[in-house]
Amino acid sequence: MPPAPGDREARRDDVSRAVWQVLADKGFGGLTLRAVAAAMGVSTGMLMHYFPTKRALIAHALDLLEKRTAERPRRDRPADGLATVRAMLLDILPLTEGDTARNRIWVSSWDLALADDGLATDQADRYTRLRSTLRPHFEAARGLGEVPAAADPEQLAATAVAFTHGLVVQALFDPGRFPEDVQIAMVDDFLASITPSRPARR
Amino acid sequence: MPPAPGDREARRDDVSRAVWQVLADKGFGGLTLRAVAAAMGVSTGMLMHYFPTKRALIAHALDLLEKRTAERPRRDRPADGLATVRAMLLDILPLTEGDTARNRIWVSSWDLALADDGLATDQADRYTRLRSTLRPHFEAARGLGEVPAAADPEQLAATAVAFTHGLVVQALFDPGRFPEDVQIAMVDDFLASITPSRPARR
């Protein structure tokens, strides 16, 4: 029997929580109606009122990932230049349990996205936006002399995103090797390495 | 009817080629007996003589990924120090079609590995080995004055792996933004950034 409209509204949050839990445990590869139903202690039949197809379940999961990423708490942006870049990179890393779950789900989504032209374009656009968000702060850093005058802020943003996402993956697989303080020190060393006052080598 | 032993041997390479093709197109999320059978133009029943279970198919796919990675052509290791680090990092990147397929399959495997304790440990060990392979070359680079005397070769290796794998992911999603020459220039800029002869800032 389908749930009454009021119940249905009330249950939406429960469903999202269960979807998130399944994603955090098993990734998109383990996201099935059956797994979500089991996490909620309901029948798959009940869940089909929310997600008539696997595709609808995946679409909801991706929306939830976007939404939770957009709504996550963030550090203050302390000032122009590299201090703000630092805050933005730290906001990406898996430093807390919640950050770890979100990152684990993002990494999992790459398999799905690489197999689907539309999702791959969405992910490429997401990277373009992320670089665009960092770029003005690298421009400001250049104005402040925090990065070399000849540096290209767009390339610095691409390098910073590369370093940060690669650190995310290593830290997810080996949290003992990459605890919070090690991740933060690596970001600080990375930012220190792009500061200038040395002869160009190339 | 099961294939005769001779046919079976002869067909093993065809099966591996089909598995690789499915992985390159659809990732581990799309790896099914049906998809491999379709790629070979055979019945799933025939394929079940090779892979009685989904787990056997996944195990073969992971072995194949390890094997093709180990056997890939590599650049000469030109000299001690950063020149060798450079060759090793370039050997990782998706610079050719074959490199792109292999990287795409590795990234796809992370979803699977994060959901399985045994595979996650294998992946953490793989990262440890990769850092260990880079470390002596960073040590040599330190001896040559190519990196600061105070630098920790293990942390430099972790940073280099992070940067390289994060660049892999961005390049897979946006090959137009990250063609071969851009990836190589980013590696060169990254290596130039860790060279010394500037006052410490921290």
B112 closest CB neighbour out of A29, A104, A163: A29
A166 closest CB neighbour out of B26, B165, B195: B165
Rounded to whole angstroms, what are the CA distances from A100 to A23, A92, A162, A184, B170? Answer: 12, 10, 18, 15, 20
**Statement: residue A28 has pLDDT above 80:** yes
Query: What are the pLDDT digits (tens) for A85-122?
Result: 999 999 999 999 999 999 999 999 999 999 999 999 99
Q: What is the mean pLDDT of residues A20-43?
A: 96
Structure tokens belonging to residue B24 = 């390159």
Q: Check if the beta carbon of residue A137 is closer than 8 Å to that of residue A81.
A: yes
pLDDT values of chain B reduced to their tens digit, one per residue, 202 residues: 565 666 766 788 999 999 999 999 999 999 999 999 999 999 999 999 999 999 999 999 999 999 999 999 999 888 889 999 999 999 999 999 999 999 999 999 999 999 999 999 999 999 999 999 999 999 999 999 999 999 999 999 999 999 999 999 999 999 999 999 999 999 999 999 988 654 444 3
- For the beta carbon of residue A123, count every other beta carbon within 10 angstroms: 22
Q: Does A184 touch chain B (CB under 8 A)?
A: no
CB contact under 8 A, A110 and B169: yes
Query: What is the predicted ipTM?
Result: 0.91
Please tell me the predicted confidence (pLDDT) of residue A91: 97
Q: Which of A170, A136, A126, A186 is nearest to A156 (CA)?
A: A136
Query: What are the pLDDT digits (tens) for A145-154?
Result: 999 999 999 9
CB contact under 8 A, B29 and A29: yes
Provide, as residue numbers in chain B, all residues whose Cβ is less than 8 Å from the Cβ of A124. Answer: 173-174, 177
Q: Does B194 touch chain A (CB under 8 A)?
A: yes
CB contact under 8 A, A174 and B202: no
Q: Check if the beta carbon of residue A23 is closer than 8 Å to that of residue A108.
A: yes
Please tell me the predicted confidence (pLDDT) of residue A202: 37
Average pLDDT, chain A: 92
Q: Check if the beta carbon of residue A19 is closer than 8 Å to that of residue A27.
A: no
The most distant pair of C-alpha atoms in chain A lies apart, rounded to whole Å, by: 73
Domains and CATH numbers, chain B: 5-69 (1.10.10.60), 74-193 (1.10.357.10)
Q: Which of B140, B158, B167, B163 is nearest to B80 (CA)?
A: B140
Q: Which of B201, B163, B17, B144 is nearest to A198 (CA)?
A: B201
Alpha-carbon gap: A173 to the closest alpha carbon of chain B (Å) = 5
